[in-house]
Amino acid sequence: MIGDEVNTAALVLWRIREVLGRTFADKLASKVYRATVDSLAEIADSDFNVSLAKALKLADGIVEAYRQKWPQIKRS
1-43 pLDDT, tens digit each: 455 666 788 899 999 999 999 999 999 999 999 989 999 999 9
Supply the pLDDT for residue 3: 59
Report the C-alpha gap between 8 and 14 in whole angstroms.
10
Q: Is 55 in contact with 43 (CB distance < 8 Å)?
A: yes
- Output the average pLDDT for the chain: 87
Report the C-alpha gap between 2 and 27 in whole angstroms.
24
Stretch 51-72: mean pLDDT: 85
pTM, full prediction: 0.79
